[in-house]
Structure 1
Amino acid sequence: MSAKPVRWVMTGTGKPLVPAEFELAIPAADEVVVEIAGCGVCHTDLGYYYDGVRTKHALPLALGHEISGRVIEAGADALWYIDKAVIVPAVIPCGKCDACRRGKATICPNQKMPGNDIHGGFATHITVPAHGLCVVDERRLAAVGIELADLSVIADAVTTPYQAVVQAGVKKGDLVIVNGVGGVGGYAAQIAAALGGVVIALDVNEDKLAAIAGPGIALTLNARQMTPRDIKATIQEFAKRHNLPQTEWIIFECSGTRAGQETAFSLINHGATLAVVGFTMDKVEIRLSNLMAFHARAIGNWGCPPDMYPAALELVMDGRVKVGQFVEKHPLKEINQVFEAAHAGALKRRAVLVPEQ
């Protein structure tokens, strides 16, 4: 390794991210060192950087939790990972506590999130626990027409909605509404369609609706041009006309905005499921009694257990969920410009930052 590893660190809210060289420590027995191929820029990163959402690790801190790369060093208990292409889970559970043993890895009290609990992926290298790493069959990448860096977004933008769709129980013939189809929501729509749902996409951005439109998406609606009442009436009429379910809709709120969450809640009907996937610090005004009156349910979704990553990856590798056309790669050294563009809503695709190796 000729040059020293570098990470781009946040030193304060809104302050320019700066490069900092660091020494790679020898990995512990259950750790690996990953040479990073790409790291996706997520709405959560922008929340830390612009909105003052607190990180658990003190600043300075390298953000970034959507990471793919290659294992170059490993501890004694993880040697088989050396030279493997991998996706690093966005949330890494310990695998040993009571919650993990009971299959509740997403609420593991010892979980580590790169870019929050530990230094993240806006760097050339990262040291992480080996537990939960998702190995990528590189021989299949060329056939799918994507690069290892593109797969970084699987670590959150794909796997988080994958868990949400599985948790909500989407099956063939279900009427599925995805509110907010940029980023995570775009993948939620694709995954729900891949699992048999009849998907209706909502967004306030016509470009994002146009990008997701196509096979598997039954209807797109611009929520900026309609009231929530009109949206619900339009979906009811569409469902009736196409002999789709009039009850038990499955609604995914992926916009991460106050208006989006209020709109999504307004779409609840008898037996509905509301899955909250997007995050906002804003408070919303809703009538919780609707859950009682409609015998509906609302469920949260934090990350995705690592044991579900291979199934989500397979949806991408067999072409049922498209990744390449929804990402755009930028040099890591342009991180400040990319953050600014992402925050301003100027990017049409999810940015993936690629280090110069």
Structure 2
Amino acid sequence: MSTVAKAYFLNVAAQPLVPRDLVLSDPGPAEVLIKVSACGLCHTDLGYADGSVAPNHPLPLVLGHEITGVVVNAGEHYTHLDNKPVLVPSVIPCLTCEFCCSGRGNACPNQKMPGNDIHGGFATHMLCPAGALIPLDAAPPGFDLCALSVTADAVSTAYQAIKRSNLLAGDVAFVVGSGGVGGFVIQIANALGAHVVACDVDNDRLGFMKTFGAHHTVLVRDRQPKEVRKELHGIAKDLRVASLKFRIFECSGTPSGQTLAFTLLAKGATLVQVGYTPKPIEIRLSNLMAFDATVHGSWGCPPELYPEILQLIYGGKIQITPFIEHAKLSEINQHLDDMAHHRLARRLVLNPDS
């Protein structure tokens, strides 16, 4: 028996999303039907909506990839998930390929991303592969499961980046861009015992992050990268931390942020590129040779890391509530406009009206 969902479709790039019915068939053996509780609004959604980034799925498409909900119909191989609250990873791997079997499921060539490869969570219901779903029934009593939707991307992407860097207690974490994903990188690095130095163009944001793990804050607006480099390396010197233990996280997704992050490299240091921009920058790649430095890309998060992330959240090491605001899915077009014009102070978690 099919289910009729109310969904918000991107029919044409740079045009408002359109509400209409979406008929969903019964789940296959390895699928589940989810009643969406919440879906976070991400800059990636804005990129698809305004046409600056093309999704893999042809339009029309339901966007949204930070999803929590309740399984209301499970395929025959996943009946144990029936009626359970779940988190849908923003990167759903196939779980069988060489990448997945090597612990690199986030780079799975067969991955499905809601709101990019398949219809996403800006809807009352969604149909998705079941193998990588993260059960949330172990959450502490009274925990806001809707808030956990941002774990699917903003928090998990931050955690994967930290893992990719091999950050250890006592290292220095230079975080370029302290909003969004960067804010969670700061929290996680602090929870793991690093010295955290936050960089941003927004002084209010830096002040906010002092409460959530930033030990040092550096305003970089209208400053030259080499000037900032001198200050940040000076902080590390005062801490008596060698550059071998520098972990640099570029989270701004801006050309200026990427230029700064690369400028911060030093002997033996590690840079993880987390943010995205389609705009190119000019760098001297030979610096990697000269410094014997390492640069990693980081995309998504493999499902096996989610239990670790949830334990940090449930234990209060990662705070979500101060960073989000609940809003109505029915006002999605206004929310996208607010995001485009930088009017949002917090990450929005959208709840279906019905």
**Fold in common (TM above 0.5):** yes
1:132 CA drift (Å): 1.1
1:106 CA drift (Å): 2.0
1:81 CA drift (Å): 0.4
Aligned length: 353
- RMSD between aligned residues: 1.5
1:51 CA drift (Å): 3.9
Q: Secondary structure at the match of 1:167?
A: helix
**Cα offsets for 1:255-289 (capped at 9, x unmatched):** 00111101111000111111000111000111111
Map of 2:340 onto structure 1: 343
2:27, 2:290 → 1: CA distance? 54
> What does 1:10-89 align with in structure 2 at a 5 Å threshold?
10-89=10-89
Map of 2:214 onto structure 1: 217
1:115, 1:215 → 2: CA distance? 30
List gaps (5 residues or longer) in structure 2.
none
List gaps (5 residues or longer) in structure 1.
none
Question: Could you tell me whether the CA contact under 8 Å between 2:66 and 2:90 is conserved in 1?
Answer: yes
Question: Could you tell me whether the CA contact under 8 Å between 2:161 and 2:272 is conserved in 1?
Answer: yes
**Cα offsets for 1:124-168 (capped at 9, x unmatched):** 1111111111111365052xxx51111000000000110110111
> What does 1:98-117 align with in structure 2 at a 5 Å threshold?
98-117=98-117
* 214-223 vs 110-119, which moves further: 214-223
2:326, 2:299 → 1: CA distance? 26
1:238, 1:96 → 2: CA distance? 45
Map of 1:317 onto structure 2: 314
Q: Secondary structure at the match of 1:328?
A: strand
1:244 CA drift (Å): 3.0
Map of 2:140 onto structure 1: 140
2:103, 2:261 → 1: CA distance? 29
Map of 1:278 onto structure 2: 275
1:243, 1:54 → 2: CA distance? 46
Question: Could you tell me whether the CA contact under 8 Å between 1:248 and 1:270 is conserved in 2?
Answer: no
> What does 1:216-235 align with in structure 2 at a 5 Å threshold?
216-235=213-232
Q: Tell me if 1:329 matches 2:318.
A: no
**Cα offsets for 1:272-318 (capped at 9, x unmatched):** 11100011100011111111110001100110011111111111111
Q: Tell me if 1:267 matches 2:264.
A: yes
CA separation of 1:28 and 1:343: change in aligned 2, threshold 3 A: same
2:50, 2:178 → 1: CA distance? 22
1:246, 1:109 → 2: CA distance? 35
- Counterpart of 2:204, as a letter, is D
Question: Could you tell me whether the CA contact under 8 Å between 1:85 and 1:138 is conserved in 2?
Answer: no
Question: Could you tell me whether the CA contact under 8 Å between 1:141 and 1:148 is conserved in 2?
Answer: no
Map of 2:167 onto structure 1: 170
Question: Could you tell me whether the CA contact under 8 Å between 1:141 and 1:147 is conserved in 2?
Answer: no
**Cα offsets for 1:157-209 (capped at 9, x unmatched):** 00011011011111100001011111111001111111111110011112221
1:291, 1:350 → 2: CA distance? 35
Q: Tell me if 1:93 matches 2:93.
A: yes
Q: From 300, 303, 306, give the equivalent of 1:306.
A: 303
**Cα offsets for 1:329-349 (capped at 9, x unmatched):** 110001000001111111111
- Counterpart of 1:59, as a letter, is L
Map of 1:242 onto structure 2: 239
CA separation of 1:115 and 1:236: change in aligned 2, threshold 3 A: same
Q: Tell me if 1:354 matches 2:351.
A: yes
1:19 CA drift (Å): 0.6
Q: Secondary structure at the match of 1:121?
A: coil
Q: Secondary structure at the match of 1:202?
A: strand
Map of 1:180 onto structure 2: 177
The percent of aligned pairs where both chains have the same amino acid is 45
CA separation of 1:352 and 1:185: change in aligned 2, threshold 3 A: same
1:85 CA drift (Å): 0.9
Map of 1:127 onto structure 2: 127
Question: Could you tell me whether the CA contact under 8 Å between 2:186 and 2:212 is conserved in 1?
Answer: no
1:281, 1:342 → 2: CA distance? 18
Map of 1:194 onto structure 2: 191
2:233, 2:260 → 1: CA distance? 15
1:174, 1:139 → 2: CA distance? 31
Task: Tell me the TM-score normalised to structure 1 length.
Answer: 0.95
1:228 CA drift (Å): 1.2
Question: Could you tell me whether the CA contact under 8 Å between 1:40 and 1:64 is conserved in 2?
Answer: yes
CA separation of 1:252 and 1:139: change in aligned 2, threshold 3 A: closer
Task: Tell me the TM-score normalised to structure 2 length.
Answer: 0.96
**Cα offsets for 1:227-260 (capped at 9, x unmatched):** 2112111112222223333443110000001111
- Counterpart of 2:207, as a letter, is A
Q: Secondary structure at the match of 2:317?
A: coil
- Counterpart of 1:270, as a letter, is K
